[in-house]
Amino acid sequence: MKHCSRRGFLSKGMMAVAGGAASHTMKTQAQSHAHVAPARPVFVSTWGFGKPANEASMRQYKKNGSLLDAVEAGIRLTEADKSNASVGAGGKPAANGKVQLDACIMFGPGSKAGSVGGIEDIAHPISVARAVMEKTPHVMLVGKGAKAFALDQGFASENLLTAQQRQEWRAWKRSRKKLEVGEKNHDTIALIGIAEDGTLAGGCSTSGLAYKMAGRVGDSPILGSGLYVDNEIGAAGATGVGENVMRFCGSFMVVEYMRQGLSPEEACAETLRRIARLDGRPVDELHINFIALNKKGQFGAAGTGKGFPYAVAYPEFSDVLQSKSLSQKSIGIEGGNAPIEEQQ
Ligand code: SD4
């Protein structure tokens, strides 16, 4: 596993205790433990913006030892960041100009879960998803019903479309240009964690595909697709083109490969291979990425094309790493449908 640039390697709090020499030790430690965290809790999340989210999770965990609070706190940080155009307030709107958010949360013990799809005007869908899990007999609420529930629970209604996103949306409406898939216009935070006692939990939150059809819901709030947590085995989360994840129950598949004994990284990679085979298109055209964490604290990630950055934090360590990448060349097949053996 290759490590990304070390910019912003340490959080401010960590910086205070770690001088240059200590930071060098931590980097070396991270390299030698690239796939297994030497201490718990461990938080793993998607993209570079997962780093501050993991650190918020870590801070919250230190306060009260609640893994669920920690997962929620990390994701809330990303949702509140208006400069992030793919999650929460400041996210890119649907084609009709409304920001529609998707989120879910899952707690390992008892396989408890909550989810919201296409919710409007509520800044923290992850917290609404948690309220669905804890305060209703249901698992998923969508659209107007989800908003009505949130308002009933005391969440504030606010306009989530920032001036900049309104301007960009208007320009897009004029040009109707197809957007490239990438970190700028199509991302998601999936954040999974393991507590000191081995409890697993995770969450996922997104504004979905930029300028999507109004009402389109992606993989992120769908349990087993954008996120899955199995308290006996591990957790997985997804980011990328939801349509290419949700047809395959991608995160569930990653967890099932871990159950069969694959490492988190190999489980993510094998899921990508299988999806590519079934889909039939070249893997580079799928634009999907997975993160995974198992019960032993091992972690990993894999993405199509060049792969993607993902963030990992455990005690005394927080950084952005580069995932394993799977391109058509590395899979070694043209199109799909070749047996697994031929693809490795
Ligand atoms: C979706 N999977 O709505 C989300 C978006 C995403 O990187 O993850 N983009 O399809």
| pLDDT given at position 182 | 54
| pLDDT given at position 87 | 83
The CATH number of residue 69's host domain is: 3.60.20.30
Domain membership of residue 29 (yes or no) is: yes
Q: What angle do CA 41, 240, 32 make, to 5 degrees?
A: 40
Instruction: State if residue 84 touches ligand 1 by the CB under 6 angstroms criterion.
Output: no
CB 139 within 8 A of CB 132: yes
Distance in angstroms (rounded) separating the CA atoms of residues 20 and 290: 33
| pLDDT given at position 30 | 45
Domain membership of residue 121 (yes or no) is: yes
Domain span at residue 166 reads 6-16+24-342
Round the CA-based radius of gyration of the chain to a whole number and report it: 19
**Rounded average pLDDT per 10-residue block, the chain, 344 residues:** 34 34 43 74 97 98 98 97 81 93 98 98 98 98 98 96 91 80 70 98 95 96 98 98 98 98 96 96 94 97 95 96 88 44 40
CB 248 within 8 A of CB 274: yes
Q: What angle do CA 40, 43, 195 make, to 5 degrees?
A: 40
Ligand 1 centroid distance, CA of 16 (Å): 36
Please count the structural domains in the chain: 1
* Candidate of 188, 189, 289 to mutate for ligand 1, largest count of ligand atoms within 8 Å of Cβ: 188
Which ligand 1 atom is nearest residue 216's CA? 3
Domain membership of residue 330 (yes or no) is: yes
Instruction: State if residue 287 touches ligand 1 by the CB under 6 angstroms criterion.
Output: no
Please report, as a single letter, which amino acid is at residue 145. Answer: G
Which ligand 1 atom is nearest residue 102's CA? 3
Which ligand 1 atom is nearest residue 207's CA? 3
Domain membership of residue 162 (yes or no) is: yes
Instruction: State if residue 187 touches ligand 1 by the CB under 6 angstroms criterion.
Output: yes
- The catalytic residue positions are 188
Ligand 1 centroid distance, CA of 85 (Å): 12
| pLDDT given at position 88 | 84
Distances (CA, A) of 203 to 10, 30, 166, 328: 24, 24, 28, 30
| pLDDT given at position 22 | 39
Instruction: State if residue 239 touches ligand 1 by the CB under 6 angstroms criterion.
Output: yes
Domain membership of residue 1 (yes or no) is: no
